[in-house]
Amino acid sequence: MTPPPGLDRRLFLALGVGSAAATGIVGPVWANPRFGSDPFAVGVASGEPRTDAVVIWTRLAPDPGALDGSGGMPDRRVPVSWQVAEDEQLRRVVRSGATVTSAEVGHSVHVDVTGLQPGREYFYRFRVGQDVSPVGRTKTMAAGTGTRDMTFAFASCQSYSNGYFSGYPHMVADDPDVVFFLGDYIYRQPGLVTPGGGHLVERQNAPQHSCETLADFRLRYAHYRTDPQLAEAHRLLPWVVTIDDNEIDNNWFSTDPDPARVARRIVGMQAFWENMPLLPSSRPVGWQLPGAYRRLSYGDLVDFHVITTRHFRQESPSGECAVEDRDGGFCPPALDPDRTILGDQQERWLHDGLRTSTAQWNVLANQVFFTMRDKNKNAKPDKDVNLAAWDGFVADRQAILDLLAAEHIRNFVVITGDSHRNWVANTPPTYRDWDTGAPPIATEFLVTSINSGGERVPNPTYGPAKQSTPHLLYRDNSHGYALATVDRDQLRIDYRAVSTVLSPAATIETISSWTVAGDQPGAVAL
């Protein structure tokens, strides 16, 4: 196997995650495993729902706090059986089977359960030796034409040390058909510092240092997954997860050749896959994640285009731009047609999917701010941009907007994480229409953080902050998630804000609501 660019082959093999042969971990099968404590301490989860299939997941970890990242498991291969049923008591079992897991994959279990019925609720569990997991609940996607409605939640950015994950019980109560988590599931750093504000509750993270090794990352994920509110949201709802940057390195990009950072990407990506309900076939090759971009459909109502803005991105031009305002606020390197955030193959896949979609709605599940920005900070000119997001890769964004115009695609909605704020933006047809008030060609809804940044005052603000930002309609500083309700005529977004992240017993309120009509881009406040 060829190592990624910038990583010496001997180091690549020594990391032991590139291939089964490289690990050297084969070990005997443990026929009758017994544990001193619950091997399912990090819970169960489901994800990647399709019309006839869903992934069910667990990870054997009787000691989730084991400092070596093993979860307290011995270096042995362990048989695990599973069942999927139509009822919570698992009397009407429709699928069952067995698999073997090992230390090579952190004793994680990823089962792609096929042959299911569309638009159905299912229940599942695992067994290892005499131990039985909690019963999980999941759903498949609807199929066929004329699909009437659905709900989905989307969220991002959670830091264990910044407070409680107090929005998840309310998300479970809202009972969406699927949850999209749009990045920063963990933070590699032990805590998130918020200069100049943000009252934090200190929950002890593990490990207490920044993650560097595979053992570190495995421990960090196990620590998060023992949080009862997060665990319940995984147990009761199917998730579609994407990775952003803080799971591995702040603002990482694929062409970075530094050997230490490449090595960290490899182990960070391995741990991400091990701890998420992703397809077995998505197991990383080096630090590349097969299936990082994929398409999921809910009947003919919604096509979800799930992308990655990390795996193929080049370095952002942040360090290449002078402070003077040039070309409408965009520095020339950001306009370079060869600078990419998507990569050629993913870009072709996305364009083809949008061009051929027959769904009522097209939703782009995206990690970083898509619409033009005007941050007006650091004493720069009034027209400033967010070069770490799509503003640094203008050509890739413009190609999408041009396609929407050429193909008369008027049902394109972007859902985004990363910014630790809720935002509503009407996306202009070109970056040069930034401040002209041109009719939007798309609509973007950014969701705030689950808790990253610590306790804050929501401070909702409607309308543009200044004359140069007529396309930015709303923002607030709350914590929580977004709930989308979709039917044939409109897509509605409710921003759900928790009362506090300093206690697990937070209340919830809908702080702002918006709709988009099926044939008219642009958000309208309710």
Query: What pLDDT is stored for residue 68 in this prediction?
Result: 97
Is residue 235 within 8 A of residue 136, CB to CB? The reply is: yes
Share of the chain above pLDDT 70, in %: 88
Q: pLDDT tier at 139 (50, 70, 90 boundaries)?
A: very high
Choice among 34-43, 45-54, 208-217, 423-432 with the minimum mean pLDDT: 423-432
Query: What pLDDT is stored for residue 464 in this prediction?
Result: 76
Residue type, 435: D
Report DSSP letters for 135-160, one per residue: PEEEEPPP-SS---EEEEEEE----G
Rounded CA separation 469/436 (Å)? 9
Report pLDDT digits (tens) over 269-326: 999 999 999 999 999 999 999 999 999 999 999 999 999 999 999 999 877 776 544 4
Instruction: Over range 40-68, report the average pLDDT.
Output: 98
Distances (CA, A) of 173 to 167, 338, 481: 10, 46, 13
Is residue 6 within 8 A of residue 256, CB to CB? The reply is: yes
Residue type, 16: G
Report pLDDT digits (tens) over 327-382: 555 678 888 999 999 999 999 999 999 999 999 999 999 999 999 876 544 434 44
pLDDT at 121 over 70: yes
Q: pLDDT tier at 12 (50, 70, 90 boundaries)?
A: very low
Is residue 169 within 8 A of residue 232, CB to CB? The reply is: yes
> 435 vs 124, which has greater pLDDT?
124
Query: What pLDDT is stored for residue 397 in this prediction?
Result: 97
Q: pLDDT tier at 466 (50, 70, 90 boundaries)?
A: low
Is residue 182 within 8 A of residue 367, CB to CB? The reply is: yes
State the first-to-last Cα distance of the chain, in angstroms, to the nearest integer: 55
Residues linked to residue 28 through DSSP beta bridges, in sequence order: none
> 27 vs 124, which has greater pLDDT?
124
Alpha-carbon Rg for the chain, nearest whole angstrom, is 22
Query: What pLDDT is stored for residue 26 in this prediction?
Result: 54
Report pLDDT digits (tens) over 218-274: 999 999 999 999 999 999 999 999 999 999 999 999 999 999 999 999 999 999 999
CA-CA-CA-CA torsion sign (461, 174, 184, 425): negative
pLDDT at 156 over 80: yes
Query: What pLDDT is stored for residue 18 in this prediction?
Result: 34
Q: pLDDT tier at 28 (50, 70, 90 boundaries)?
A: confident
Rounded CA separation 94/116 (Å)? 8
Query: What pLDDT is stored for residue 463 in this prediction?
Result: 85
* Nearest CA among 58, 80, 56 for reference residue 71: 58
Q: pLDDT tier at 446 (50, 70, 90 boundaries)?
A: very high
Report DSSP letters for 69-115, one per residue: SSTT--SSBEEEEEEEESSTT--SEEEEEEEEE-GGGTTEEEEEE-S
Query: What pLDDT is stored for residue 133 in this prediction?
Result: 98
Instruction: Over range 156-164, report the average pLDDT.
Output: 94
Query: What pLDDT is stored for residue 52 in this prediction?
Result: 98
Look up residue 486 and give its two tokens. Answer: 């979709």
Choice among 50-54, 58-62, 68-72, 335-339 with the minimum mean pLDDT: 335-339
φ and ψ at residue 263, rounded to 5 degrees = -60, -40
Choice among 276-280, 381-385, 465-469 with the minimum mean pLDDT: 381-385
Query: What pLDDT is stored for residue 329 in this prediction?
Result: 57
How high does pLDDT run on average in the chain? Answer: 90
Query: What pLDDT is stored for residue 143 in this prediction?
Result: 97
Query: What pLDDT is stored for residue 437 in this prediction?
Result: 76
